[in-house]
């Protein structure tokens, strides 16, 4: 007998209220997309990521407009003397902050965060010049990275408009786009000839989003100007490129990936499959050549970067890679894209955020140290912008993106991509409210319980992701083992769902090795489930002369250790501690990559190893 649902009256009242105020969006797909984000649904994340999200909101997003008022003030002082000494891409900081903060609003009911966002939005709106200009540079306007800044601002303001219906936010975007059109694109200034063409091509993405909201023919005409210039520069944006063509990728600093998102905007607007083909092929090429084993994006970004590389894995580049991967998941429905988002979220993203939530790292290498972005990017600092730089304003997006891929809609129901703890409330295509409540210790535990709560009994399909690294999974519905329909990384359960139906997913979290190649041929990485493991000075010695060699044939003897230790503050305790056996029989203690380096210690993920595995 199922236990009574004591929360049912409350849930039904919440559903009724949500229906009345239009809180939930439906699963209607955009043209050409396989899955759809549900940006106006309600999410509450628990467990490890829930704590990270809360730390980010309380200790970074809420105080930022007060601790760094110049992030908005720079726009109001554009014509004052002396001229502001800012990096050319500083005009994008406000927009990037607002994108992450608006995403975070979907993950929390924080009234305080909403006040911070409202004040920042008002400050940005009121800073617009009579001409429509929305940057910090003094006149006459010269497009350095200013097109990039404009794109970030109006992408954020469009998100705010879609979330609140604030008409002034949309009008600011339109006036800014008209300014860009008149002063740049239609005046003969080519994006490829600006100082930062890769960054400035983000305008293609921004224009596409604006066109789909308005839709004004002049914005599509402006996109065509950017496209023609891009084509002449040799990048062939509208052609289907070979996924094996490294030349099709070139140098892609994180922000430059937004130009690729513009290809999908052109696909959605025109319906021409060549744009989708170009996008998906480039995504696969980037995955093969630029994505790190932690899920970070390589910096410096030269195609074919070596696995063991002294370069930085920057939070800003990772945020843009993850945003691109959400777009890939949406347009393709490929479970591999969701696997990549899981890898990036639990490792690169969580590793870039200090557990306290008070700072973000600009350097999260596989071997090395966590370096605060304020130290690495000291050249981006400016009066009134304490600790603000490209990584500190972009990093929070890696957490906020959960609102766009954790639970998605498709033509026949819902897709559960994120397997961690949390509660989702949304609406099916037929307007039936439904909730998913996930109880689990994942990614530490492999048992995931999903309670399905339709307002009334309703038949629909629930697709649950089975990570590729897991191989297979055991699936039960109300205690009975079912096979479901497993296809391309998802198990699909199509049934008439009733209140408190319980789905249980069981995954194997055995420690598994991944061998290096190229200059890492004699090294390996160890993963437990989706978590990359690392050796941290806090828990083991990194003395290179005596560093143990992992016995890859004895990984089945790995032992989980308690993480609650007297010598580790609660807020800094690791997610997992694992001991593996070395070739001399001694044990090597490893923690999760997300926690490695939190004490300012050195760590290493690439480990010397012997054995056949």
pLDDT tens across 252-269, in order?
Answer: 444 578 889 999 999 999
Residues 103 and 66 in one domain: yes
Residues 76 and 112 both lie in one domain: yes
What does pLDDT average to over the chain?
A: 85
- The verdict on residue 29 lying in a domain is no
The verdict on 263 and 145 lying in the same domain is yes
Bridge-based pairing of strands 458-465 and 413-416 is parallel
Examine the domain organization and report whether 351 and 243 are in the same domain: yes
pLDDT cut 70: percent of the chain above it: 86
Segments of 412-507 assigned E as strands: 413-416, 422-427, 433-440, 447-454, 458-465, 474-477, 480-482, 485-487, 490-497, 501-506
- Rounded distance between C-alpha atoms, residue 362 and residue 376, angstroms: 6
CA angle 171, 175, 177 (to 5 degrees): 115
Domain boundary among 361, 383, 405: 405
Cross-strand partners of 2: none
Are 240 and 283 in contact by the 8 Å Cβ rule? The answer is no
Q: Are 578 and 511 in contact (CB under 8 A)?
A: yes
Assigned domain for 146 exists: yes
Do 290 and 320 lie in a common domain? yes
Task: Give me the residue label for tokens 């306007």.
Answer: 141
Number of domains in the chain: 3
Lowest mean pLDDT, pick from 54-63, 231-240, 292-301, 362-371: 231-240
Domain boundary residue among 506, 537, 560?
506
Q: Within a domain: residue 385?
A: yes
Exposure string for 31-67, b = 16+ CB within 10 A, e = fewer? ebbebbbbebbbbebbbbbbebbbbbbbebbbebbee
Same domain, 358 and 421: no
In terms of domains, do 277 and 376 share one? yes
Residue 3 lies in a domain: no
Tell me the C-alpha distance between 26 and 427, whole Å.
Answer: 5
CATH of the domain at 440: 2.60.40
Residue with tokens 């601002």: 153
Q: Are residues 381 and 445 in the same domain?
A: no
159-173, 494-508, 557-571: lowest mean pLDDT where? 557-571
- Does the residue 304 lie in any domain? yes
- For the cut 50, the answer to whether the pLDDT of residue 379 exceeds it is yes
Residue of higher predicted confidence among 145 and 478: 478
Checking if the pLDDT of 501 tops 90, the result is: yes
- Supply the angle between the helices 146-164 and 111-126 in degrees, to the nearest 10: 130
Whether 30 is in a domain gets the answer no
| Same domain membership, residue 525 and residue 489 | no
Could you tell me the two tokens for 283? 């995504």
Q: Is 116 in contact with 97 (CB distance < 8 Å)?
A: no
Cβ 493 vs Cβ 462: under 8 Å: yes
Residue 419, φ and ψ in degrees, nearest 5? -105, 5
In this prediction, residue 354 has a pLDDT band, given cuts at 50, 70 and 90, of: very high
* Secondary structure of 19-45 as H, E, C letters: HHHCCCCCCCCCCCCCCEECCCCEEEE
Q: Domain holding 230: CATH number?
A: 1.50.10.20
What's the predicted TM-score (pTM) here? 0.91
Structural domain contains residue 280:
yes
Determine phi and psi for 133, rounding to 5 degrees: -60, 140
Q: What is the mean pLDDT of the segment spanning 517-528?
A: 81
**Domain match, 70 and 91 both:** yes
Q: Are 205 and 343 contained in the same domain?
A: yes
Specify if 1 maps to a domain.
no
What pLDDT is attached to residue 250? Answer: 42
300/97 Cα distance (integer angstroms): 23
Indicate the residue among 475, 506, 537 that finishes a domain.
506
Over the Cα atoms of the chain, what is R_g? 24
Helix axis angle, 167-183 to 202-213, nearest 10°: 130
pLDDT band at 21, cuts 50/70/90? very low
| pLDDT score of 605 | 94
Domain range for 453 is 8-23+411-506
- State whether 487 and 528 are in the same domain: no
């Amino acid at each position: 007998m199922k236990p009574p649902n004591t929360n049912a009256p409350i849930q039904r009242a919440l559903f009724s209220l949500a229906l009345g105020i239009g809180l939930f969006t439906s699963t209607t797909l955009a043209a050409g997309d396989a899955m759809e984000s549900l940006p106006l649904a309600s999410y509450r994340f628990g467990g490890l990521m829930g704590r990270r999200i809360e730390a980010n909101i309380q200790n970074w997003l809420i105080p930022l407009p007060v601790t760094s008022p110049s992030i908005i003030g720079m726009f109001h002082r554009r014509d004052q003397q002396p001229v502001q000494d800012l990096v050319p891409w500083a005009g994008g900081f406000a927009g990037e902050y607002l994108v992450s903060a608006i995403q975070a609003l979907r993950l929390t009911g924080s009234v305080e965060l909403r006040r911070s966002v409202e004040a920042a939005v008002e400050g940005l709106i009121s800073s617009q010049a009579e001409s429509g200009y929305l940057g910090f540079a003094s006149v006459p306007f010269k497009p350095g990275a200013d097109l990039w800044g404009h794109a970030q601002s109006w992408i954020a303001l469009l998100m705010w408009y879609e979330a609140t219906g604030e008409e002034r936010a949309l009008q600011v975007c339109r006036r800014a786009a008209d300014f860009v059109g008149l002063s740049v694109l239609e005046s003969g200034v080519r994006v490829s000839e600006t100082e930062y063409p890769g960054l400035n091509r983000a305008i293609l993405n921004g224009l596409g989003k604006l066109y789909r909201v308005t839709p004004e023919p002049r914005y599509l005409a402006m996109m065509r100007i950017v496209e023609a210039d891009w084509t002449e520069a040799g990048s062939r944006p509208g052609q289907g490129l070979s996924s094996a063509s490294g030349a099709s990728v070139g140098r892609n600093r994180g922000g430059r990936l937004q130009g690729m998102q513009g290809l999908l905007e052109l696909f959605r607007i025109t319906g021409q499959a060549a744009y989708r083909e170009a996008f998906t092929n480039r995504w696969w090429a980037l995955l093969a050549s630029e994505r790190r084993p932690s899920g970070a994006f390589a910096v410096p970004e030269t195609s074919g970067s070596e696995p063991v590389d002294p370069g930085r894995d920057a939070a800003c580049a990772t945020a843009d890679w993850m945003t691109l991967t959400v777009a890939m998941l949406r347009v393709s429905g490929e479970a591999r894209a969701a696997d990549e988002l899981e890898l990036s979220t639990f490792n690169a993203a969580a590793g870039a955020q200090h557990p306290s939530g008070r700072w973000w790292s600009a350097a999260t290498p596989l071997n090395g140290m966590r370096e605060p972005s304020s130290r690495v990017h000291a050249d981006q600092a400016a009066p009134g912008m304490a600790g603000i730089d490209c990584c500190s304003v972009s990093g929070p997006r890696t957490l906020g993106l959960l609102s766009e891929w954790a639970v998605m809609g498709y033509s026949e129901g819902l897709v559960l991509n994120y397997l961690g703890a949390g509660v989702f409330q949304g609406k099916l295509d037929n307007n039936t409210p439904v909730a998913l409540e996930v109880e689990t210790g994942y990614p530490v535990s492999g048992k995931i319980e999903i309670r399905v709560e339709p307002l009334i009994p309703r038949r629909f399909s629930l697709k649950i992701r089975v990570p590729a690294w897991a191989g297979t999974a055991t699936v039960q519905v109300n205690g009975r083992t079912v096979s479901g329909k497993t296809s391309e990384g998802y198990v699909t359960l199509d049934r008439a769902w009733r209140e408190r139906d319980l789905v249980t997913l069981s995954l194997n979290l055995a420690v598994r090795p991944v061998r290096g190649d190229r200059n890492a041929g004699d090294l390996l990485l160890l993963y437990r489930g989706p978590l990359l493991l690392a050796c941290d000075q806090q828990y083991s010695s990194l003395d290179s002369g005596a560093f143990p060699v992992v016995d890859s044939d004895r990984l089945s003897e790995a032992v989980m250790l308690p993480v609650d230790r007297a010598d580790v503050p609660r807020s800094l305790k690791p997610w997992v501690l694992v001991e593996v056996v070395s070739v001399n029989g001694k044990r090597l203690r490893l923690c999760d990559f997300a926690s490695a380096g939190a004490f300012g210690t050195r760590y290493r993920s690439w480990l010397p190893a012997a054995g056949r595995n």
